[in-house]
Each structure stands twice: as structure tokens, then as C-alpha cells.
């Protein structure tokens, strides 16, 4: 069964900490995405990557950075966590043209910044 | 910029009823359309994906249709069950310049009452 795995389901971090959210896919997908989801705001794209070492800003990149050193792994980095980054974070992956699967999502990471 | 709208935001139906969830999109150059289910606190699970050349897709009690000319998609759920209670999201896919991206609606929260 194809999978997108997010390393943590729940995280609690302190304001100012550097936070790493990890995402790994086993489907040989070229594209990987990071979203955050907040009540009433829906899914908002933070960053995406269409190839190793490539990254593109999404709609809300401020306060975040990403790393993609290997095709299967896409990391989201909160350089200095703030309380307004408390949210559900979702990772997804896809083939370059979507293929027959479209997006496959991980199970999400609920991050609380205190 | 593409927009995807789902109305209503919430829907409550008695068990056993057949129901239709609506999704509208603004870009007629749609590549594909994907329907997802999201349970509380969880990631998104793909239900159906319709390519732009298709009119509908079926999986079990679910049937999704696509009408590009009117910019609409519907998800039909037959004989609803309490286990169908979840938030359903639709997303319009675009492909080009070596990348593939989905634009998401904010979802319809479905409650099936026993």
C-alpha cells in the first residue's frame, strides 16, 4: 500500500524553538507539498517541491523553510516557532502530472506552540 | 487565480438517505478533479479522481461527476450511513510547466444521523 508518512501525529513546542516536521513517501513521486489547515481557512499551501533540491513558495511561506535532499523526503522547518503557527500540518505527494492517483496525503501533524 | 467553492459548508441527513455534495470551480481548463474525505484530526483520504476527459467515476456507494462546461462536480452518496460522517473536500487539478497542483475547496461537513 502506497504511503505518505509524517513522523509525528502530535507535537508541543515552545515559542522560539526551531521545529522540524518530516514527511516521507514511498511512491517515487516527484512532487511534494506542505499545507497547513486551520478552521474556517481551509488548506493553505506553504511550500512545494517538484524535484530534489528544488522548492517553490506557496501562498503562506513566511516563517517557514523547507529541505528536500532526497526524493522521498520533504522537511518543513519552523525557524523560530510562534503561537500563530499552532495548526494542523499536512504533507502530500504526487507524480509530476498527477497520474491516476492525484495527491496522496499523510495523516497530519497537530502542532501546538506554547 | 482558480477558486473552488463547496456549498453548503455543513449538511445533516438521516441515515439511509441518498445525498449530493456540490463543488464548483472557476477555471474551465481543468486537468482533473479529486474528491477527498477527512475525519476529525486526521489527514485527507482520496475517494475519487476524475480526469478532464471523463464524465464520472464510481466507487462502491460513491459516484462523482464532472461537468466542465458548467464548472461543477457532484459527489453522490447512496444509502448514507453514520460512518459516512466526515468532511468532504473537492480539489481542482492543474498541470503545466512540469508541475501539478490542486486547488482545494473548504469542504462540506456531513453528519449522518442514526
Q: How far is A29 from chain B (nearest CA, A)?
A: 11
Residue B107: pLDDT over 90: yes
Q: Which of B44, B100, B105 sits opposite A90 (nearest CB)?
A: B44
What is the arithmetic mean of pLDDT over B79-101?
Answer: 90
Alpha-carbon dihedral of residues B34, B38, B44, B46, nearest 10 degrees? Answer: -40
For residue B107, the tally of other CB atoms under 10 A from its CB is 23
Give residue B99's pLDDT.
76
Q: How far is A101 from chain B (nearest CA, A)?
A: 7
* Residue whose C-alpha cell is 449538511: B11
Residue B75: pLDDT over 70: yes
A82 or B94, which is more confident?
A82
Q: Round to whole Å and give the CA distance between B56 and A16.
A: 49
Query: With an 8 Å Cβ cutoff, is B14 touching chain A?
Result: no
For residue B1, the tally of other CB atoms under 10 A from its CB is 6
Give residue B101's pLDDT.
87
pLDDT in tens, A26-83: 999 999 999 999 998 999 999 999 999 899 999 999 999 999 999 999 999 999 999 9
Quick check: helix, strand or coil at residue A28?
A: coil
What is the arithmetic mean of pLDDT over B51-76?
Answer: 95
- Provide the grid cell at A78: 519552523
Quick check: helix, strand or coil at residue B4?
A: strand
Nearest CA in chain B to A108: B43
The phi, psi pair for B57, rounded to 5°, reads: -140, 145
Interfacial A residues in 75-94 facing B (CB < 8 Å): 88, 90, 92, 94
Residues on chain A touching B44 (C-beta within 8 angstroms):
90, 92, 103, 105
Amino acid at each position: 500500500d502506497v504511503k505518505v508518512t509524517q513522523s509525528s501525529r502530535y507535537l508541543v513546542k515552545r515559542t522560539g524553538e526551531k521545529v522540524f516536521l518530516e514527511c516521507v513517501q514511498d511512491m517515487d513521486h516527484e512532487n511534494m507539498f506542505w499545507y497547513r489547515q486551520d478552521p474556517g481557512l481551509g488548506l493553505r499551501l506553504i511550500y512545494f517541491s517538484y524535484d530534489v533540491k528544488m522548492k517553490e513558495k506557496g501562498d503562506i511561506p513566511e516563517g517557514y523553510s523547507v529541505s528536500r535532499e532526497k526524493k522521498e523526503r520533504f522537511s518543513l522547518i519552523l525557524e523560530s516557532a510562534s503561537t500563530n503557527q499552532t495548526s494542523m500540518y499536512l504533507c502530500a505527494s504526487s507524480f509530476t502530472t498527477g497520474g491516476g492517483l492525484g495527491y496522496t496525503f499523510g495523516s497530519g501533524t497537530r502542532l501546538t506552540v506554547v | 487565480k482558480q477558486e473552488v467553492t463547496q456549498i453548503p459548508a455543513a449538511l445533516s441527513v438521516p441515515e439511509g438517505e441518498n445525498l449530493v455534495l456540490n463543488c464548483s470551480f472557476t477555471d474551465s481548463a481543468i486537468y482533473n478533479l479529486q474528491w477527498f474525505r477527512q475525519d476529525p484530526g486526521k489527514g485527507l483520504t482520496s475517494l475519487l479522481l476524475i480526469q478532464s476527459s471523463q464524465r464520472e467515476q464510481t466507487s462502491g456507494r460513491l459516484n462523482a461527476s464532472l461537468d466542465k462546461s458548467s464548472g461543477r462536480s457532484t459527489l453522490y452518496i447512496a444509502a448514507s450511513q453514520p460512518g459516512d460522517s466526515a468532511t468532504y473536500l473537492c480539489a481542482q487539478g492543474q498541470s503545466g510547466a512540469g508541475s501539478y497542483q490542486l486547488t482545494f475547496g473548504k469542504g462540506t461537513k456531513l453528519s449522518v444521523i442514526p
